Amino acid sequence: MSGFTWHGGRLAEARAVYGGADWIDLSTGISPMSWPGRDRIAVDWRCLPDPQELAALEAAAAAHFGVDPGHLCTVPGSEAGLRLVGRMLDMPGRWLVPSYRTHGEIFACGRAMAAGEAAPREAVALLLANPNNPDGRVLPPARLLQWLDGLERAGGWLIVDEAYADAMPSCSLAGEVGDGRRLILLRSFGKFFGLAGVRLGFLIGPREIVAQARRMLGEWPVSAAAIAFGRAAYEDRAWIEETVGALAERAAQLDAVLARHGLAARGECPLFRLIEVEDGAALFDRLARRAILTRPFEGEQRWLRLGLPGDAAALARLDRALADG
Protein backbone atom coordinates (compact mmCIF):
# COMPACT_ATOMS: atom_id res chain seq x y z
CA MET A 1 0.00 0.00 0.00
CA SER A 2 2.91 2.39 0.59
CA GLY A 3 3.21 3.41 -3.06
CA PHE A 4 -0.49 4.08 -3.49
CA THR A 5 -0.59 6.23 -0.34
CA TRP A 6 2.32 8.40 -1.55
CA HIS A 7 0.34 10.11 -4.32
CA GLY A 8 -2.28 9.35 -6.94
CA GLY A 9 -1.89 8.39 -10.57
CA ARG A 10 0.11 5.18 -10.14
CA LEU A 11 -1.70 3.22 -12.85
CA ALA A 12 1.36 1.26 -13.97
CA GLU A 13 1.89 0.03 -10.42
CA ALA A 14 -1.82 -0.81 -10.09
CA ARG A 15 -1.72 -2.90 -13.28
CA ALA A 16 1.40 -4.71 -12.05
CA VAL A 17 -0.24 -5.57 -8.72
CA TYR A 18 -3.83 -6.22 -9.77
CA GLY A 19 -3.65 -6.90 -13.50
CA GLY A 20 -6.27 -5.69 -15.97
CA ALA A 21 -6.13 -3.06 -18.68
CA ASP A 22 -9.38 -1.07 -18.63
CA TRP A 23 -8.75 0.95 -15.48
CA ILE A 24 -10.70 3.92 -14.14
CA ASP A 25 -8.30 6.28 -12.38
CA LEU A 26 -10.03 8.11 -9.51
CA SER A 27 -6.82 8.47 -7.51
CA THR A 28 -6.14 12.13 -8.33
CA GLY A 29 -8.02 15.40 -8.10
CA ILE A 30 -7.36 16.17 -11.77
CA SER A 31 -10.46 17.09 -13.73
CA PRO A 32 -11.71 14.41 -16.13
CA MET A 33 -13.02 17.22 -18.34
CA SER A 34 -9.83 18.04 -20.25
CA TRP A 35 -9.76 21.29 -22.18
CA PRO A 36 -10.76 20.23 -25.75
CA GLY A 37 -8.59 22.78 -27.53
CA ARG A 38 -5.48 20.72 -26.74
CA ASP A 39 -5.76 18.90 -30.07
CA ARG A 40 -5.57 22.15 -32.03
CA ILE A 41 -2.33 23.44 -30.50
CA ALA A 42 0.73 23.32 -32.75
CA VAL A 43 4.15 23.73 -31.11
CA ASP A 44 7.41 24.46 -32.92
CA TRP A 45 9.77 22.20 -30.99
CA ARG A 46 12.81 23.61 -32.81
CA CYS A 47 12.63 26.98 -31.08
CA LEU A 48 13.27 28.18 -27.55
CA PRO A 49 10.27 29.56 -25.66
CA ASP A 50 9.55 33.07 -26.90
CA PRO A 51 9.57 35.86 -24.26
CA GLN A 52 6.69 37.65 -26.00
CA GLU A 53 4.61 34.48 -25.98
CA LEU A 54 5.39 34.00 -22.29
CA ALA A 55 4.21 37.57 -21.63
CA ALA A 56 1.01 36.84 -23.56
CA LEU A 57 0.42 33.73 -21.46
CA GLU A 58 0.89 35.72 -18.26
CA ALA A 59 -1.50 38.41 -19.50
CA ALA A 60 -4.15 35.77 -20.24
CA ALA A 61 -3.64 34.04 -16.90
CA ALA A 62 -3.67 37.35 -15.01
CA ALA A 63 -6.96 38.33 -16.65
CA HIS A 64 -8.41 34.94 -15.66
CA PHE A 65 -7.29 35.32 -12.03
CA GLY A 66 -8.24 39.01 -11.83
CA VAL A 67 -4.77 40.42 -11.10
CA ASP A 68 -2.31 42.76 -12.78
CA PRO A 69 0.28 40.80 -14.85
CA GLY A 70 3.03 42.49 -12.85
CA HIS A 71 1.92 40.50 -9.81
CA LEU A 72 2.23 37.15 -11.57
CA CYS A 73 5.13 34.84 -12.43
CA THR A 74 4.97 31.62 -14.44
CA VAL A 75 6.36 28.53 -12.69
CA PRO A 76 6.73 24.88 -13.81
CA GLY A 77 3.90 23.68 -11.58
CA SER A 78 2.50 25.11 -8.34
CA GLU A 79 4.64 22.83 -6.12
CA ALA A 80 7.79 24.23 -7.69
CA GLY A 81 6.46 27.70 -6.95
CA LEU A 82 5.88 26.78 -3.30
CA ARG A 83 9.44 25.54 -2.94
CA LEU A 84 10.69 28.85 -4.37
CA VAL A 85 8.61 30.76 -1.86
CA GLY A 86 10.04 28.77 1.04
CA ARG A 87 13.55 29.71 -0.04
CA MET A 88 12.74 33.36 -0.69
CA LEU A 89 11.01 34.06 2.62
CA ASP A 90 13.55 32.13 4.71
CA MET A 91 11.54 32.18 7.93
CA PRO A 92 9.89 29.58 10.17
CA GLY A 93 6.76 28.05 8.71
CA ARG A 94 3.40 26.80 9.86
CA TRP A 95 1.29 24.58 7.68
CA LEU A 96 -2.30 23.52 8.20
CA VAL A 97 -3.00 19.78 8.38
CA PRO A 98 -4.38 17.64 6.97
CA SER A 99 -3.19 18.82 3.60
CA TYR A 100 -0.59 18.07 0.96
CA ARG A 101 2.23 15.87 2.22
CA THR A 102 4.79 18.19 0.59
CA HIS A 103 3.65 21.32 2.46
CA GLY A 104 5.82 20.33 5.41
CA GLU A 105 8.87 20.18 3.11
CA ILE A 106 8.64 23.82 2.03
CA PHE A 107 10.27 25.37 5.10
CA ALA A 108 13.64 24.75 6.73
CA CYS A 109 11.97 24.77 10.15
CA GLY A 110 8.48 25.03 11.60
CA ARG A 111 5.60 22.81 12.60
CA ALA A 112 2.22 21.55 11.48
CA MET A 113 -0.88 23.32 12.76
CA ALA A 114 -4.41 21.96 13.09
CA ALA A 115 -7.14 23.90 11.32
CA GLY A 116 -8.88 24.52 14.64
CA GLU A 117 -5.89 26.30 16.15
CA ALA A 118 -5.79 30.07 16.41
CA ALA A 119 -3.94 31.66 13.52
CA PRO A 120 -0.36 32.60 14.42
CA ARG A 121 0.37 36.23 15.20
CA GLU A 122 4.12 36.04 14.89
CA ALA A 123 6.79 36.39 12.22
CA VAL A 124 6.11 33.08 10.48
CA ALA A 125 4.90 32.03 7.05
CA LEU A 126 1.52 30.31 7.30
CA LEU A 127 0.83 27.91 4.42
CA LEU A 128 -2.56 26.40 3.68
CA ALA A 129 -4.50 25.05 0.73
CA ASN A 130 -7.88 26.53 -0.16
CA PRO A 131 -9.77 24.47 -1.31
CA ASN A 132 -7.89 21.95 0.78
CA ASN A 133 -6.68 18.50 -0.16
CA PRO A 134 -7.62 15.75 0.72
CA ASP A 135 -10.76 16.75 2.63
CA GLY A 136 -12.03 19.46 0.26
CA ARG A 137 -12.40 21.96 3.09
CA VAL A 138 -12.93 25.57 1.98
CA LEU A 139 -12.11 28.41 4.35
CA PRO A 140 -14.06 31.66 3.79
CA PRO A 141 -11.95 34.47 2.33
CA ALA A 142 -13.04 36.73 5.20
CA ARG A 143 -11.41 34.41 7.74
CA LEU A 144 -8.22 34.20 5.70
CA LEU A 145 -8.05 38.00 5.52
CA GLN A 146 -8.33 38.17 9.31
CA TRP A 147 -5.38 35.77 9.55
CA LEU A 148 -3.48 37.84 7.00
CA ASP A 149 -3.98 41.03 9.03
CA GLY A 150 -2.57 39.38 12.15
CA LEU A 151 0.40 37.92 10.32
CA GLU A 152 1.20 41.24 8.63
CA ARG A 153 1.26 43.09 11.94
CA ALA A 154 3.78 40.54 13.23
CA GLY A 155 5.94 40.59 10.11
CA GLY A 156 4.74 37.21 8.82
CA TRP A 157 3.26 36.03 5.53
CA LEU A 158 0.18 34.16 4.39
CA ILE A 159 0.76 31.67 1.56
CA VAL A 160 -2.33 30.09 0.01
CA ASP A 161 -2.08 27.11 -2.31
CA GLU A 162 -5.05 27.71 -4.62
CA ALA A 163 -4.38 24.73 -6.90
CA TYR A 164 -8.10 23.84 -6.94
CA ALA A 165 -9.51 27.38 -6.89
CA ASP A 166 -10.38 27.44 -10.61
CA ALA A 167 -13.22 25.05 -9.82
CA MET A 168 -14.44 27.38 -7.04
CA PRO A 169 -13.50 30.93 -8.10
CA SER A 170 -15.32 32.61 -5.21
CA CYS A 171 -12.83 31.26 -2.66
CA SER A 172 -9.76 32.89 -4.25
CA LEU A 173 -7.86 35.77 -2.63
CA ALA A 174 -6.40 36.93 -5.95
CA GLY A 175 -8.16 40.27 -5.68
CA GLU A 176 -6.37 40.97 -2.39
CA VAL A 177 -2.81 40.64 -3.73
CA GLY A 178 -0.81 43.86 -3.79
CA ASP A 179 2.55 45.43 -3.07
CA GLY A 180 1.43 46.44 0.40
CA ARG A 181 0.25 42.96 1.40
CA ARG A 182 2.24 40.01 2.71
CA LEU A 183 0.15 37.57 0.69
CA ILE A 184 1.37 35.01 -1.87
CA LEU A 185 -0.85 32.66 -3.88
CA LEU A 186 0.01 29.63 -5.99
CA ARG A 187 -2.22 28.53 -8.86
CA SER A 188 -2.18 25.34 -10.91
CA PHE A 189 -3.11 24.95 -14.58
CA GLY A 190 -3.32 21.17 -14.90
CA LYS A 191 -5.92 20.28 -12.29
CA PHE A 192 -8.87 22.32 -13.59
CA PHE A 193 -7.98 22.06 -17.29
CA GLY A 194 -7.35 18.31 -16.98
CA LEU A 195 -3.83 18.59 -18.42
CA ALA A 196 -1.54 17.80 -15.51
CA GLY A 197 1.26 16.70 -17.85
CA VAL A 198 1.73 20.29 -19.05
CA ARG A 199 3.37 21.18 -15.69
CA LEU A 200 2.32 24.81 -15.53
CA GLY A 201 1.49 27.04 -12.59
CA PHE A 202 1.70 30.61 -11.34
CA LEU A 203 3.02 32.52 -8.36
CA ILE A 204 0.93 35.59 -7.52
CA GLY A 205 2.22 38.15 -5.04
CA PRO A 206 3.88 41.52 -4.47
CA ARG A 207 6.05 42.72 -7.35
CA GLU A 208 9.22 42.35 -5.27
CA ILE A 209 8.49 38.66 -4.70
CA VAL A 210 7.55 38.15 -8.35
CA ALA A 211 10.78 39.81 -9.52
CA GLN A 212 12.85 37.63 -7.19
CA ALA A 213 11.11 34.49 -8.47
CA ARG A 214 11.76 35.52 -12.07
CA ARG A 215 15.47 35.93 -11.33
CA MET A 216 15.62 32.48 -9.71
CA LEU A 217 13.79 30.77 -12.59
CA GLY A 218 15.62 32.45 -15.47
CA GLU A 219 14.36 33.42 -18.92
CA TRP A 220 12.69 30.08 -19.78
CA PRO A 221 10.68 28.95 -16.74
CA VAL A 222 8.41 26.62 -18.77
CA SER A 223 8.35 24.95 -22.18
CA ALA A 224 6.99 26.41 -25.40
CA ALA A 225 4.24 23.79 -25.24
CA ALA A 226 3.17 24.90 -21.77
CA ILE A 227 3.04 28.50 -22.95
CA ALA A 228 0.92 27.64 -25.99
CA PHE A 229 -1.51 25.38 -24.11
CA GLY A 230 -1.87 27.77 -21.18
CA ARG A 231 -2.49 30.93 -23.19
CA ALA A 232 -5.15 29.38 -25.41
CA ALA A 233 -6.92 27.65 -22.53
CA TYR A 234 -7.08 30.73 -20.29
CA GLU A 235 -8.52 32.72 -23.20
CA ASP A 236 -11.33 30.17 -23.65
CA ARG A 237 -13.74 31.92 -21.30
CA ALA A 238 -16.86 30.13 -22.55
CA TRP A 239 -15.38 26.69 -21.85
CA ILE A 240 -14.14 27.76 -18.41
CA GLU A 241 -17.54 29.06 -17.31
CA GLU A 242 -19.34 26.01 -18.66
CA THR A 243 -16.91 23.64 -16.98
CA VAL A 244 -17.25 25.24 -13.54
CA GLY A 245 -20.96 24.45 -13.65
CA ALA A 246 -20.49 20.99 -15.14
CA LEU A 247 -18.00 19.95 -12.45
CA ALA A 248 -20.46 20.91 -9.72
CA GLU A 249 -23.14 18.78 -11.40
CA ARG A 250 -20.82 15.78 -11.70
CA ALA A 251 -19.79 16.10 -8.07
CA ALA A 252 -23.46 16.02 -7.05
CA GLN A 253 -23.92 12.84 -9.11
CA LEU A 254 -20.95 11.23 -7.36
CA ASP A 255 -22.38 12.27 -3.98
CA ALA A 256 -25.66 10.55 -4.86
CA VAL A 257 -23.91 7.28 -5.78
CA LEU A 258 -21.86 7.33 -2.58
CA ALA A 259 -24.92 8.07 -0.47
CA ARG A 260 -26.77 5.15 -2.03
CA HIS A 261 -24.11 2.90 -0.50
CA GLY A 262 -24.16 4.58 2.90
CA LEU A 263 -21.02 6.64 2.26
CA ALA A 264 -21.10 10.29 3.32
CA ALA A 265 -18.98 12.48 1.04
CA ARG A 266 -16.81 15.15 2.66
CA GLY A 267 -15.59 18.29 0.97
CA GLU A 268 -16.77 21.25 -1.07
CA CYS A 269 -14.23 21.06 -3.90
CA PRO A 270 -16.05 19.46 -6.86
CA LEU A 271 -12.97 17.68 -8.23
CA PHE A 272 -12.84 14.99 -5.52
CA ARG A 273 -14.59 13.59 -2.48
CA LEU A 274 -13.24 12.11 0.75
CA ILE A 275 -15.10 9.27 2.44
CA GLU A 276 -14.50 7.70 5.84
CA VAL A 277 -15.09 3.97 6.26
CA GLU A 278 -14.18 1.30 8.78
CA ASP A 279 -11.24 0.07 6.68
CA GLY A 280 -10.09 2.34 3.88
CA ALA A 281 -7.37 -0.06 2.74
CA ALA A 282 -9.89 -2.88 2.35
CA LEU A 283 -12.21 -0.72 0.25
CA PHE A 284 -9.24 0.46 -1.84
CA ASP A 285 -8.32 -3.18 -2.47
CA ARG A 286 -11.90 -4.19 -3.32
CA LEU A 287 -12.21 -1.40 -5.88
CA ALA A 288 -8.74 -2.05 -7.30
CA ARG A 289 -9.69 -5.67 -7.95
CA ARG A 290 -12.42 -4.20 -10.17
CA ALA A 291 -9.86 -1.97 -11.93
CA ILE A 292 -10.87 1.24 -10.14
CA LEU A 293 -7.94 3.12 -8.62
CA THR A 294 -8.61 5.40 -5.65
CA ARG A 295 -6.36 7.15 -3.11
CA PRO A 296 -5.75 5.65 0.36
CA PHE A 297 -3.82 7.37 3.15
CA GLU A 298 -1.13 5.81 5.29
CA GLY A 299 -1.78 7.98 8.35
CA GLU A 300 -5.57 7.84 8.13
CA GLN A 301 -6.60 4.23 7.66
CA ARG A 302 -10.31 5.09 7.51
CA TRP A 303 -9.98 7.58 4.65
CA LEU A 304 -10.36 7.06 0.93
CA ARG A 305 -10.40 9.85 -1.64
CA LEU A 306 -12.20 9.52 -4.97
CA GLY A 307 -11.81 11.80 -7.96
CA LEU A 308 -14.64 12.48 -10.39
CA PRO A 309 -15.50 9.65 -12.80
CA GLY A 310 -14.94 10.71 -16.39
CA ASP A 311 -18.40 9.88 -17.72
CA ALA A 312 -21.69 8.16 -16.95
CA ALA A 313 -20.26 4.72 -17.77
CA ALA A 314 -17.41 5.18 -15.29
CA LEU A 315 -19.82 6.37 -12.61
CA ALA A 316 -22.01 3.31 -13.24
CA ARG A 317 -18.97 1.02 -12.89
CA LEU A 318 -18.15 2.62 -9.56
CA ASP A 319 -21.78 2.18 -8.48
CA ARG A 320 -21.67 -1.54 -9.33
CA ALA A 321 -18.30 -2.04 -7.64
CA LEU A 322 -19.52 -0.44 -4.42
CA ALA A 323 -22.62 -2.65 -4.49
CA ASP A 324 -20.58 -5.81 -5.00
CA GLY A 325 -19.34 -6.19 -1.43
User: Could you confirm whether domain 40-235 is CATH 3.40.640.10?
Assistant: yes
The residues near 149 (Cβ < 8 Å, ≥ 6 apart) are none
Task: Give yes or no for a contact between 270 and 248, defined as CB atoms under 8 angstroms apart.
Answer: yes
Low-confidence ranges of the chain (pLDDT < 50): none
User: For residues 272 and 282, what is the distance between their CA atoms, to the nearest angstrom?
Assistant: 20
Q: Provide DSSP, 23-67.
A: -EE-SS---SS--GGGGG----TTSPPPHHHHHHHHHHHHHHHTS
Cβ-in-10-Å burial (0-12, 13-18, 19+) of 210 comes to buried
User: For residues 191 and 102, what is the distance between their CA atoms, to the nearest angstrom?
Assistant: 17
User: For residues 150 and 129, what is the distance between their CA atoms, to the nearest angstrom?
Assistant: 18
Going 168 to 170 to 173 to 176, the CA torsion angle's sign is: positive
Look at residue 3 and give its three-state secondary structure.
Answer: helix
Q: Where, residue-wise, is CATH 3.90.1150.10 in the chain?
A: 2-34+238-323
pLDDT of the residue at 325: 66
Q: Where, residue-wise, is CATH 3.40.640.10 in the chain?
A: 40-235
User: For residues 139 and 171, what is the distance between their CA atoms, to the nearest angstrom?
Assistant: 8
Please, which contacts does 240-244 make with residues 24 or more away whose CB atoms are closer than 8 Å?
240/64, 240/166, 243/31, 243/33, 243/192, 244/166, 244/167, 244/169
* Topology (CATH level 3) of domain 2-34+238-323: Aspartate Aminotransferase, domain 1 (3.90.1150)
